[in-house]
Each structure stands twice: as C-alpha cells, then as structure tokens.
C-alpha cells in the first residue's frame, strides 16, 4: 500500500493542456479500492481548498482533481483567444478525460456546484463519454437559473452587475485595486450575502479564513469569475437527456439553491435521482474545513455507492 501523505503539496503536479498551464492534484487510494475518481471543483476555487474532501474520497479510489481554466491560478481561456463559456469548459474537461484516462476506462465523477454544471454540459455535448462514467455525483450542483433562491428581478439585476464586472476595464480595476486584503476583508465583514458563508465559523477562525479568502480571490481570473457567474445565473442545462443516474448531495442549509427545484430539474435530465444530505448550514463547509469538516459531503448513502467498483 502506498504511503499516504497528509499534505496536498505532495500530490500536486504541473498541468498543461491545450496551451494552458495550471496544476493537477493526483492522490492515490488509501485502501484496496483502486477505482478512478475525477473530482471537479466549483467556483472560487483552489486545489488546496478541497484537500479535506480528497482525503475522504481516497478511501474509495485514486483521486484526480485538475484546475479549470481561469481558476486556481490556471491560465484563463483568454490566453488562447477563447471566452470562459460553459461550453468551452465542457470541451476542456472532455479533452482532459480523453488524455488522462485509458480508452473505455470507467471513472467515478464527483463534481461540486459549478463543476457539476460543467460536467453536465460535457456529457450532453459528448454522449460518447457517458459510458465512461460509472457513477456521477453532484455535490450541491445545480441545473437551471430557477434553482436559485432569488426572484427574477434580483437575478436580472445580478446578471447586469456581473456582466459589467466582466468587462475589460472594470475587471482590470477590480484585479489591481480591489483584490487586496483590506478591501476583501471589509466586504466580507459588511455585506449580508458574504456573512452567510461564515455561519458555521468560530470567531477565532475568522481572520485565518479571511486570509484564505484573499488567496482564493487572487488565484482566480476576474473576468472568468464574473463571466461564468453571469452565464450560470441564466443557465438552462435541462434540454438534453443523459443516460445516467445522479447521486446528489444537497446542503441542509443551502443559502443559494432550492433543493426541491434542483431535484425536479435533475429528474428532467437524468435516469434517476438519489439524495444525500450534507449536514452544513451554508452552501459548502468552511474553506478551512479539514477531513473531518468535509466528511459531511460524503454522506452514508453515498459511501455505499463509492465503495462499488
């Protein structure tokens, strides 16, 4: 059995794909199950942020987590003259799977939030990859603009704001004048929507969490962040069926999504729907959550599924 490190740095290697440079985390299985697990992170991402989840998933196979263009410090699509659309992310992920895994090799896919949106679009665009997926897991994933806890008026307002933030001059201003420690920490302390992310955070952890949030914001491309936000606020991923069941992990206290509406939309696309509940009061656990803190994202029912080969 391989030595299992407690540090994500021991498993992170360079990634170059389609002319874009980033990183990839490849962690070996901690037990006898040598299944391949592809972990796709969500918005506002960094490989290290999900290390505790990787540690949980290692019990069920070898875990691979690649950067997505414009996230986690990886080059953005702008470097190769493309826009960060969900379709382009889907193309990128399809290329990654074809390069990373042997032909016809089965893969368990675990996708978080926006990452699940990308995986869904990929499987719709590349139906030949559906047979490569042995189990598909959505961790607080979503399918449609109506999944959000917001009125149409508010959603349209946010779409307008995010599109403005994604313009080149505004994005430049945000990156070089706003994404510093003082501004980011001030916003998190005073914006009501930001405070919801820290509902489970102890006061002693707040400053440490703020430091990590600064890293997250600075590691992600500004235009990619806001252009993808505008697109998923207007999302409809429900038009093409996918011949797979979905295992959905819903947050008990999700402040972004209506879990019942998410279920209805998933049933319009997937063959079947299986629900597990993550005992967390926010969309996802704290960015500082360790293996124990992130174990809620692998509820008991999902553990039984992941044990299968």
Inside any domain, residue 208: no
% of the chain surpassing 70 pLDDT: 94
Indicate if the pLDDT at residue 192 is higher than 80.
no
In the prediction, which pLDDT does 196 show?
A: 57
Inside any domain, residue 212: no
CA dihedral 297, 301, 303, 308 (to 10 degrees): -140
146 closest CA partner among 234, 76, 19, 70? 234
Number of domain units in the chain: 1
Average pLDDT for 223-227 = 97
How does residue 184 score in pLDDT terms, banded at 50, 70 and 90? confident
**Which two structure tokens, joined as six digits, stand for 265?**
């939309």
Inside any domain, residue 105: yes
d(CA 236, CA 269): 11
Provide the CATH number for the domain around residue 276. 3.40.50.1820
Inside any domain, residue 59: yes
Inside any domain, residue 40: yes
Q: Beta strand 20-27 with 12-17: parallel, antiparallel or unpaired?
A: antiparallel
Quickly tell me which residue has 């967390």 as its tokens: 280
**Sign of the CA dihedral with 186 first, then 230, 256, and 221 last:** negative
Inside any domain, residue 218: no
Inside any domain, residue 302: yes
Strand ranges of the sheet holding 242-251, from the earlier edge strand across to the other edge: 12-17, 20-27, 62-66, 36-40, 107-112, 133-139, 242-251, 270-278
Inside any domain, residue 259: yes
50 closest CA partner among 67, 74, 33? 67
d(CA 166, CA 228): 9
CA dihedral 263, 268, 273, 275 (to 10 degrees): -10
Domain membership of residue 246 as a residue range: 8-149+230-307
In the prediction, which pLDDT does 115 show?
A: 98
d(CA 115, CA 164): 23
Mean of per-residue pLDDT scores for the chain? 93
- For 123-157, what is each residue's pLDDT tens digit? 999 999 999 999 999 999 999 999 999 999 999 99
d(CA 97, CA 19): 16
């Amino acid at each position: 059995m391989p030595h299992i490190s407690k540090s994500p740095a021991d498993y992170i290697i360079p990634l170059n794909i389609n002319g874009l440079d980033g990183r990839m985390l490849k962690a070996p299985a901690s037990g006898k199950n040598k299944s391949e697990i592809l972990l796709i992170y969500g918005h506002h991402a960094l490989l290290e942020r999900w290390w505790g989840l990787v540690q949980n998933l290692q019990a069920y196979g070898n875990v691979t987590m690649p950067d997505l263009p414009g996230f986690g410090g990886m080059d953005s699509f702008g470097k190769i003259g493309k826009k960060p659309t969900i379709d382009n992310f889907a193309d990128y992920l399809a290329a990654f799977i074809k390069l990373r895994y042997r032909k016809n090799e089965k893969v368990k896919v675990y996708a978080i939030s926006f990452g699940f949106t990308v995986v869904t679009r990929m499987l719709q665009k590349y139906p030949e990859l559906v047979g490569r997926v042995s189990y598909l897991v959505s961790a607080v994933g979503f399918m449609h603009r109506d999944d959000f806890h917001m009125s149409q008026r508010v959603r349209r307002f946010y779409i307008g704001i995010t599109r403005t933030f994604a313009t080149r001059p505004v994005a430049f201003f945000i990156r070089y004048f706003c994404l510093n420690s003082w501004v980011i920490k001030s916003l998190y302390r005073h914006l009501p929507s930001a405070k919801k992310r820290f509902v489970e955070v102890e006061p002693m952890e707040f400053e440490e969490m703020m430091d990590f949030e600064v890293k997250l914001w600075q590691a992600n491309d500004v235009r990619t962040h806001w252009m993808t936000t505008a697109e998923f606020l207007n999302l409809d991923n429900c038009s093409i069926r996918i011949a797979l069941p979905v295992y959905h992990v819903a947050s008990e206290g999700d402040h972004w999504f209506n879990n019942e509406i998410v279920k209805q939309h998933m049933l319009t696309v997937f063959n079947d729907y299986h629900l597990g509940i993550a005992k967390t009061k926010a969309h996802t656990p704290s960015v500082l959550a360790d293996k124990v803190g992130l174990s809620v994202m692998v509820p008991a029912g999902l553990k039984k599924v992941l044990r299968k080969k």
